[in-house]
Structure 1
C-alpha cells in the first residue's frame, strides 16, 4: 500500500497538468478528486478507470482479482473496437467468496487463475487488477504477479488501482503508471524508423481511429503504438522508440505522455481529430515534430498536399448540409476533450453552440473553449436535469449532443438527441468522421417523428360542444328540469 500511496501522490503532483501548477502545496497534496462516499463509486471508481484505459489492449487477458460483482461492474460498456484479437472481450475473474477471504486463499487462487489462463489461451501477457476487497484484505498482487511471470515465462502485469483510492480519472492515470513501470520499454523493436509516432488517449470508439490511420499511412507515418485503442501488447512494449506523440485526451494520460518525454525524449502535443480544421492541424503538428526529431523535411510538403486534397473533398460533401443546418442551435452536454473539439467542428458548418459542459474538462480545455466561442457565457460546469429539461422544452436548442445518461431528458422534452459519448455507434473522427457527424445531426433534426410527437395527444384535444334543440316532448321536459334545478344545493331539498 505504501507504493500505491506514493504513486497516487505522484499523480496528484503531475507537473504537466496546468491545474496542478496553479495550486499551492497544500491543495496539491490533497489531490484532484473529491472523497468518495459509500456507493458513489459504482461505475466511476479508480478500478473502473484503470480498466477503461487498459482493456482495449486487445490481445491481453484481463484478470480481475475480486468477487464476481467487480468484473460485472462495467465490463465491455464502451464502444472500443478491435481489428483482430478478441481475447480482451473474454471476462476473467478470480471470483473470491467469503470463505476465500476468511481462509486467506486470495493469493493462491490468483496464482491458480493465472496458470489456467496461460494454459487455455496463451496470451502475450496477463494484466491483473486489484480491487477494493483484495486490497483491504492485504493480498500482494505484485508479489504474485512477479512469481507467476517467473514460473510461466510471460509478462504478468499488476494494476494496483483499487476502487476506494479515488475517482475514475485517477484510475486512468494509475493505469498509465502500470504501463510505464511494467510494459513500455521492455521490448526493443528491430524496425524503428524516423516516422514512428505514438497516439495516446485514443480509444478507437466505434472504430474512429481507423478513419485517421489511413491518412498517416499515406504520409508514410507509422503508428508505433495507439494507447489504448486497438492496441497490441508488443506494440506498447516497443512504444519507447517512437519519435513523437500526440495526446488526444490529456485528462486520462497526461502523466504517461510527460514521463515518456522525460525518459525517452519523445516530444508530444495535445490535439484533436474532430473537425476538418483540427484534423489538419493535428497532421501538421505530427509532421513538424517528426522533422524536429530528424525526419526528412519533405514530409511537410506532402502533408500540406494531403490536407488540401482531403479538405476539398470534405467541404464538397458538407456543402449539401449547410443550408439545412446553418443557424441550428446545439446544446453539448459532455466533457473532456469533446467540450472544445466538437464545438469547433460544429461551428465550421455554421451551427450555433448555445452551451457546452466543462465538468470533466481541464484548464487547457476551458481556455480553448473561450478562444473558440470568444467568451465563457456558454460554458457550464454542471447543469441539473431540471435545468436541462427546461432549456430544451423552451426550444432554446434544436438538438442535444450528450451521453446515454441524459438522452431521456431530451426525449421527454421532445427534442432531437444524438449520442456523442463512448456508447455511440458511428465514428466521428477525421475528415470522413466530420461528414458522418453532420449527417447524423441532420438526420436527427429533420426526422419527421419530432413533428408528430409535438402535436397534441388525442386525449388533450377537447371536442367542440354543439347546442341542438330537443326533438321530442320528453327531451324538452328533461331540459326544463335540468334548467330548474341548475345551481341547487342539497340543502334546498329539505327532507328529501
Structure 2
C-alpha cells in the first residue's frame, strides 16, 4: 500500500502542468483531482481511467484481478477501433468470490489465470489490473506478475490503479506511469529513423486516427507509436526511439510526455486534430520539431504544400454547408480537450457557440476557450439536467453536442442532438473529419422529424364540431332520439 501511495503522489507532482507549477508545496500534494465520495464514482474511477488508456492496445490481454462486476462495468467503455488484432475485445477476469477473499486465494488464482491466457492465446504481453477489493485485501500483484513473467517468458505488467484512489483522470496518469515503468524502452527497434514520432492521448475513436495517419504518411512521417489508439505492444515498447511527440489530450498523459522528454530527449507539444486550422497547425509543429531534432528542413516546404492542398479541398466541401449552418447556435456539453478544440472547429464554419462545458478541462483549456469566445459568459463548469432542459426547451440552441448521458434531455426538449464523445459512430478528426462533423450537424438540424415532433399531438387538438341540419324528417327523428338517450344517460351516470 505504501508503494501505491508513492506512485499516486508522484503523479500529483506534475511540473509540466502550468497550474501545478503555480501552487505551493502543500497544495501540489493534493493534486488536481477532487477525491471521490464513496459510492459516487459517476464519471469514472481510477480503475476505469486506467482501463480507458490501456485497453485500446489491441494485441494485449487485459486481465482484471477482481470480482466479476469490475470487468463487466469497464468492458467496451470506449469506441476505439483496431486495424488488426481483436484480443483486446475479449474479457479476462479472475472472478474473485467471497470465498477466495476469505481463504486468501487471490494471488494463486491470478497466477493460474495468467498461465491459462498464455497457453490459450499466446499474447505478446498481459496487463493485470487490481481493483478496490484486491488492493484492500493486500494481494501482492507486483510479486505475482514478476514470477509469472519469469515462468512463462512474456511481459506481465501490473497496473496499480484501484478505483478508490481517485478519479478517472488520475487513472489515466497511473496507466501512463505503468507504461513508462514496465513497457516503454524494453525493446530496441532496428529501423529507427529521423521522421519517427509518437502520438500520445489519441484513442482512435471510430477510427479517427485513420483520417490523420495518411497525411503523415504523405509527408514521410512514421508514427512509431500511437498511445493508445490502435496500438501494438512492441510499437509502444520501442516508442523511446521516436524523435518528437504530439500530445492530443494533456489531462490524460502529460506525465508520460514529460518523462519521455526527460529520459530520452523526445520534445512534445500539445495540439488537436479537430478543425481545419488546428489540423494544419499540428502538422506544422510536428515538422518543426523533427527539423530541430535533425530531419531535413525540406519537410517544412512539403508540409506547407500539403496543408494548402488539403485546406482548399476541405473549404470547398464546407462551402455548401456554410449557407445552411451560418448563425446556427450550438450548445457543447462535453469537456477536456474538446471544450476548446471542437469550439474552434465549429466557429470556423460560422456556427455560434452559446455554451461549452469545461467540467474536465485544465486551466490552459479554459484560457483557450476564453480567447476564442472573447469572454467566459458562455463557459459553465457544470449544468444540471434541469438547466440543460430549460435552455433547450426555450430554443436558446439549435442543437446540442454531448455524450450519451444527456441525449435524452435534448430529445425531451425536442431539440436535435449529436454524439461528440467516445460512443460516436463517425470520425471527426482531420480535414475529412471536420467535413463529416459539419455534415452530421446539418443532417441533425434539418431532419424533418423535428418539425413533426414539435407539432401538437392529435389528442391535444380539439377540432370544432359542426352541427349540420338534417336533410330529411327521418334523420331529424333519429338525431332527436339520440340526443334524448344521451341526456338520459347523463342524468343516470353523470357526464364524462
- Tell me which interval the TM-score lies in, with the shorter structure as reference length: over 0.9
Query: Residue 300 of structure 1: CA displacement?
Result: 0.1
Contact 1:176/1:255 (CA < 8 Å) preserved in 2?
yes
Mapped partners of 2:112, 2:486: distance in 1: 88
Mapped partners of 2:380, 2:56: distance in 1: 31
Contact 1:43/1:73 (CA < 8 Å) preserved in 2?
no
Contact 1:43/1:74 (CA < 8 Å) preserved in 2?
no
| Alpha-carbon displacement from aligned partner over 1:198-235 (angstroms, at most 9, x marks no partner) | 00000000000000000000000000000000000000
Mapped partners of 2:491, 2:194: distance in 1: 101
Contact 1:335/1:358 (CA < 8 Å) preserved in 2?
yes
Mapped partners of 2:470, 2:117: distance in 1: 88
| Alpha-carbon displacement from aligned partner over 1:31-65 (angstroms, at most 9, x marks no partner) | 22222222212661111100000000000000000
Mapped partners of 1:453, 1:252: distance in 2: 40
Query: Residue 295 of structure 1: CA displacement?
Result: 0.4
Q: How does 1:221-236 map to 2 (within 5 A)?
A: 221-236=221-236
Query: Residue 98 of structure 1: CA displacement?
Result: 0.9
| Alpha-carbon displacement from aligned partner over 1:349-391 (angstroms, at most 9, x marks no partner) | 1111001000000111111111111111111111111111111
Contact 1:42/1:73 (CA < 8 Å) preserved in 2?
no
**Gaps in structure 1 of 5+ consecutive residues:** none
SS in 2 for 1:63: strand
Query: Residue 77 of structure 1: CA displacement?
Result: 2.0
Change (3 A) 1:139 1:454: same
Change (3 A) 1:344 1:474: same
Query: Residue 423 of structure 1: CA displacement?
Result: 0.1
Contact 2:196/2:244 (CA < 8 Å) preserved in 1?
yes
Query: Residue 491 of structure 1: CA displacement?
Result: 17
Contact 1:243/1:267 (CA < 8 Å) preserved in 2?
yes
Q: How does 1:80-95 map to 2 (within 5 A)?
A: 80-95=80-95
How many residues get paired? 496
| Alpha-carbon displacement from aligned partner over 1:159-204 (angstroms, at most 9, x marks no partner) | 0111111111100000000000000001111111100000000000
Deviates more, 1:364-373 or 1:23-32: 23-32
Query: Residue 481 of structure 1: CA displacement?
Result: 16
SS in 1 for 2:74: coil
Query: Residue 29 of structure 1: CA displacement?
Result: 1.8
Mapped partners of 1:107, 1:369: distance in 2: 48
Q: How does 1:301-380 map to 2 (within 5 A)?
A: 301-380=301-380
SS in 1 for 2:138: coil
SS in 1 for 2:320: coil
| Alpha-carbon displacement from aligned partner over 1:86-135 (angstroms, at most 9, x marks no partner) | 00000000011111111111001100100110011000000000100000
Contact 2:60/2:87 (CA < 8 Å) preserved in 1?
yes
For normalisation by structure 2, the TM-score amounts to: 0.94
Change (3 A) 1:494 1:425: closer
SS in 1 for 2:488: coil
Mapped partners of 2:479, 2:463: distance in 1: 22
Q: Which 4+ stretches in 1 moved above 3 angstroms?
A: 465-496
Contact 2:344/2:372 (CA < 8 Å) preserved in 1?
yes
Query: Residue 10 of structure 1: CA displacement?
Result: 1.2
Mapped partners of 2:313, 2:194: distance in 1: 30
Query: Residue 30 of structure 1: CA displacement?
Result: 2.1
| Alpha-carbon displacement from aligned partner over 1:456-476 (angstroms, at most 9, x marks no partner) | 101111222556789999999
Query: Residue 4 of structure 1: CA displacement?
Result: 1.1
Contact 2:325/2:350 (CA < 8 Å) preserved in 1?
yes
Change (3 A) 1:472 1:136: same
Q: Paired residue for 1:389?
A: 389
**Gaps in structure 2 of 5+ consecutive residues:** none
Contact 2:52/2:77 (CA < 8 Å) preserved in 1?
no
Change (3 A) 1:493 1:182: closer
Change (3 A) 1:458 1:195: same
Change (3 A) 1:317 1:486: closer
SS in 2 for 1:71: helix
SS in 1 for 2:225: strand
Change (3 A) 1:152 1:493: closer
Contact 2:194/2:294 (CA < 8 Å) preserved in 1?
yes
Change (3 A) 1:183 1:488: same
Change (3 A) 1:282 1:490: closer
Change (3 A) 1:490 1:115: closer
Q: CA RMSD in A?
A: 3.1
Mapped partners of 1:453, 1:31: distance in 2: 47
Change (3 A) 1:243 1:468: same
Mapped partners of 1:431, 1:78: distance in 2: 23
Query: Residue 239 of structure 1: CA displacement?
Result: 0.4
